[in-house]
Structure 1
C-alpha cells in the first residue's frame, strides 16, 4: 500500500547557534537514555542507537562523551517526557515529543508555537489516531524480498516493507526495533541506515503548497526553536527546497 514515509525535516545547521541547539538536544537525549539504563553503549542498545544517530547528525564526540559521563555521576537533572498533539497549518495533524525539567515552561512554549504558527493545540489523544507508532528502518537497496525474508526468519512481526526510488523502508512494532536492526545488519553486513528510529508515522500525507506550505515551514521552525522539543511528527508533504 505504501506509506511514503517522510522522516521529520531537520533544518541544516548553517550557523553556530543552530549547531549549538542541535548539540544541546542530543546531549539531553543521550543523558536521559544513559541515565535510564546502563551508561555503556555495548550494554545499552538504546544508547548505542542514539550515539549512531548523533554521529550521523555530525554531533562532535566530546558532546556525546560529556553526556554519557554526566549520566554516570550521582544526581543530575531530572527530565520527564511529555507529548503534545494538535493541528498545524493546513489542517495537518502534528505530534510533538519533548524532554523537560519544567513542564509549565514547555507547555507554554509549545502552545505559543501552535498559536503563532497558525495551528491549534489539542488534548492528549486528539490526533494520535491519524498515526501508527512504529519502528522505522530505512536504507538504500532494492532487495525487498531479501529484507522481508531476513526479518521473518528473525521472528520479527513485520508491518510492511516499502521499496521506493532505490530506498527500502521496514516498518515493525517498536518492541521489535533492535531485533529487526540486528537481523538486517546480519543479512546485509554493508548496510547503512538513513533512518533508524521509533516514530509516529502518518496514515496519509497531505501535500501542502503555496501559503499553506510556507506557514507550515514557519510552524516547524517555531517548534524547532523550543529547547525542550525533541521530535516533531506530522502528515505534511512539503515542496522540495531548491
Structure 2
C-alpha cells in the first residue's frame, strides 16, 4: 500500500486542535445523517451507516452525538445533501480528489474552484485524475495490537488484500498497521479483524493512489496549504492526493511546521 503511510504521518504530525476536532465531528455526523437517510436508520441493517458509526466511534465522537445524527435523518425537515467529487491538480502536478457533501452545489463548486486557483492548483473535470486512484477499504490498527506477522495472518483470514506495518518513532499515532481490502468488503473484513485484534483506530473507504507524484519540500508545503484550506471548508468531507515525499523531505516539513 505504497504512499499511504507517509500521508497519514503528515496528518498526524500536524495534529488536531480543538476547533479542528469539532469540525471533524461535524463532518462525521453529516456522513451518519446522510447514510441513515439514504437507507435504514438501524446500523445493523445499513452497511454504509454501520461503517460511518464505526469510524465516528474510532475518532471518539460521543455516543449522544452519533444518536442525534441518526435521529436527525428521521425528521421530515432533515437537511438534504448532495454528494459530489471534485478532481484537479495541485502544485507540482499533484493529483487531488475532493469529496464533499453540500446543500448548495453552486456555493461548494465556487469555493473549491477558488481554493484550487488561489493555491497554485487547477480544478479539472470529473475523471481528470480519478484514473490514477482506486477505491479501497482501509482499516488501521495501533501498532501494539500484534506483531506484523500476526496482523498479516489475521488480515489474510479476514479476506484483506494488503497490509503495511510501521512501528513509528515513539509517537503512537505514527505507527500502526494499515490494512486494505476491496471497497465492497470493508464492513465484513473490518468486523472479522476487530474480532481478532480488538478495536481499530480507523475504518473507512479511501482513494488509493495507483500512480504517485514525487515532491520536494517546497512543493510539499504548497500542496499541504491547499489541502488544509480545502479541509477547512465545512462542505468538504475528505481530500486525497497522490504525492509522495522522501523521508528527509517529510522530516524537514515536520521540523518547519
**Shorter-chain-normalised TM-score: which range?**
0.7 to 0.9
Matched, 1:14 2:17: yes
Name the SS of the counterpart of 1:72 in structure 2. Answer: coil
* TM superposition score normalised by structure 1: 0.84
Do the aligned partners of 2:101 and 2:236 also contact (CA within 8 Å) in 1?
A: yes
Q: What is the CA–CA distance in structure 1 between the aligned matches of 2:82 and 2:187, rounded to whole Å? A: 23
Moved over 6 A (4+): none
Alpha-carbon distance in structure 2 between the residues aligned to 1:172 and 1:223: 27
Q: Which position in structure 1 is the counterpart of 2:99?
A: 97
Of the structure 1 ranges 219-228 and 106-115, higher mean CA displacement relative to structure 2 is found in: 219-228
Deviation at 1:134, TM superposition (A): 0.8
Residue 57 of structure 1 and its aligned partner are, at CA, apart by 2.8
Query: Aligned match of 1:132 in 134, 152, 161?
Result: 134
Q: Distance in 1 between matches of 2:63 and 2:24?
A: 14
> How big is the shift at 1:194?
2.6
Q: CA deviation at 1:143?
A: 4.7
Corresponding residue to 1:203 among 196, 201, 210: 210
Deviates more, 1:168-177 or 1:80-89: 168-177
Q: Equivalent residue of 1:76, what SS?
A: coil
The unaligned stretches of length 5 or more in structure 2 are: 168-174
The residue number in structure 2 matching 1:180 is 189
Q: Which residue of 2 is the match for residue 74 of structure 1? A: 76
The alpha-carbon distance between structure 1 residues 175 and 218, as it changes in their structure 2 partners (threshold 3 A), is: same
- What do you get for the CA RMSD once the two structures are aligned? 2.5
**Equivalent of residue 236 in structure 1, options 243, 249, 254:** 243
Q: Secondary structure of the equivalent of 1:211?
A: helix
What's the TM-score, normalizing by structure 2?
0.80
Mapped partners of 1:170, 1:74: distance in 2: 39
**How far, CA to CA, are the matches of 2:65 and 2:189 in structure 1?**
28
